[in-house]
Each structure stands twice: as structure tokens, then as C-alpha cells.
Amino acid sequence: MNAPTLAGSSRGDTLRRLLAELAPVGAPAAEVSEAVLAAGPRVGLPDALAVLEHACGVRPLLDLLAGAVHPTVAAVRAGDLPCALALFTPDATLALPVPGVRARSGPAGFVLDGRYRYGSPAGAALLVAEAADGPRLCLLRHDEPGVRITGPDGWGWAELTGVTVDPALVSGPVSWHPTGPLLAVVDAYAWAYAPVAAAHAAATVAQLRRELADPAVGVLAASQYLAHELTRLDIELALLSSAARFGPRLRGGEAGGTAVVAVLTACATLTHRTAQVAADFATGLGVPGGAAADPAWRVAVQAAFGGRRMVEGELARRMGLLAGRS
């Protein structure tokens, strides 16, 4: 069964409009992050993260593909085909250098088998596949034969069975070495992501406080438990926002360093907690949870960068705690 596509959908139209408005071709990651931040709540978190991933994660890596003028590459670069960055598939090692897709030579190009996780609804994904001569980037449309989307919402995980990809949509061998382009792009994307995700989580906590202040909520507003939970999130999100705003100026903030993944780990943990608190308030206490009570919000923050466990694994790898295992 072919994967669903964004072509002609209202979600696809929204993403294409936001890419043109907030992330024009050529805009650096920091500028895209600032534009998405400035857009504020009018752009929901799932769409904000989809824009960031496409503009800050996918576009900078398209130049590594063999066919820079291929129609699919051109469509992704222009924002006409929203694309996810599928480099972060959790497995036993929880390490970026261990891809979940294998590539073998076929009569019409590389043939892909395996699975990958991707963090935003999209009509295509840029993934890493392990070939005989090392990892390669592959740009894959989700409506290709052999692609099956297995996520509960029609996106999130893809399984590939004998999928042939055009050689023009494949890069030469790539490396996760700190001086290479992959880590540099991933880290720049992470610095762009963290302040946006933190801002949306902080807005959710503020909304929950306003809901609790509503006289109709009654005795819940005086609950020390609820106040304590929100205060903890407030403080930790404020610290996260400050660290994220420093970006690469933080000590160890260079590409391939530990600072960016430490900030990303904190971000993944806090946005996950925010989503859980909002859901608990909504389902357990009858307090509207705001945007974060929407399953799409929770999926977006839990899928970005492969999820918090994947991020924690990458932090451990960069700290040298997984030597010999990845």
C-alpha cells in the first residue's frame, strides 16, 4: 500500500505557505528560528516544527545529492514538497551512526529495505541508508511503491520493502565525523529547534495557569500540587530558553560538541513533561489542556530528533559513554 501524500491536502497547503512565508530558500537556520518564534501561537507547534525541520534540516543537505537539478530535489528546495529529516531512528544502540535502512545495488539504482522514523507529516523524507561503501543520504517520496507508513496517524514510521530510489536522489558516502556536513547541519537544526519548542511549552504552562485561575475551576485553583507542578515547569523552561538562546556560544557549542545535545536532551524531556501535564489536566481534572492536550502536539515533540531516548543516546555517544557500541 502506498503511503498517504500531502499533495492537495489542507495540511500540505499550510506547510507550503508557511515555508514560503517564514523560511524562504537560502535563509539561515537562525533567521528561520527567529521568524517562527515571532509568528508565535498563530503557528501551532506541529507546523512550526515541520517548517524548521524542512528549512534547517533538509534543505542544507540537498546539495550532497547527486542530482541537484532533479525535479524532486527542486520541489523540496522550493518548499513545494514538504520533506522530513529522517536521520533519527531509534534502535538497540540509540546512535545516529547506526541507520535503520539498508541499501543494495539494483538494476535501476539503490534498493532500500528497513524502516525509519520521521518527525513531521511530509510527502518525502531525507534518510540515511547503509550501503556497501558506507552510509548514504537518500531522498525518498512517500508515494513510491514499497513504502508503507505504519504510524497510528498515517505518519511517523515508514517501512521500506524493495524500494528503488533514483541514483540522482542518493549522495556519495557520508560520515558522522564532527568535521563533516551531517553533524554540522543536525546541530544547527537543533539550535533552531530548541528555543521554538521551549517557547511553545512555556505558552502551554501559561495557558494552564490561566485556566486554573478561572473561577469556574473552583477549588482546583488552590491546589498546591498543581501549582508546584506548573512552577517547576516554569523555572526549568525559563532556564532551557536561556541556554537555547546562547546557541553555539555556549561552552562546547561547536558542531559535534556536547552542549547542543545537552540542551536538546533538556528540551525533549521538558516538552514531553509539558505534554503529559497538559493531558493529565485535561483528562484527569477536567481543566482544558490547551494546544498541548492535542495528540498532534504530543506526537510532534516526542518524534522530533527521534524522541527523547534517541537524543539521550546521542548525548551519551558524544560524551564517549558508548565507545565500541556504535
The three three-digit cell numbers of residue 227, written as one number: 501549582
Listed residue (179, 84, 188) closest to 127, CA to CA: 84
Listed residue (201, 214, 200, 190) closest to 288, CA to CA: 214
Listed residue (281, 210, 275, 211) closest to 237, CA to CA: 275
The pLDDT of residue 242 is 93
Domains in the chain (CATH in brackets) are 10-173 (2.40.110.10), 181-318 (1.20.140)
CA torsion angle for 59, 297, 294, 154 (degrees, to 10)? 50
The pLDDT of residue 4 is 47
Please list the rounded mean pLDDT of every run of 10 residues in the chain (326 residues): 52 91 94 95 92 96 91 96 94 87 91 93 93 96 93 79 96 91 94 95 89 67 71 94 87 81 95 90 78 84 90 91 61
Angle between helical axes of 224-246 and 259-284 (0-180°, round to 10)? 150
Q: Round to the nearest angstrom and report the end-to-end CA distance of the chain.
A: 33
The three three-digit cell numbers of residue 23, written as one number: 523560511
The pLDDT of residue 156 is 85
The three three-digit cell numbers of residue 207, written as one number: 495557558
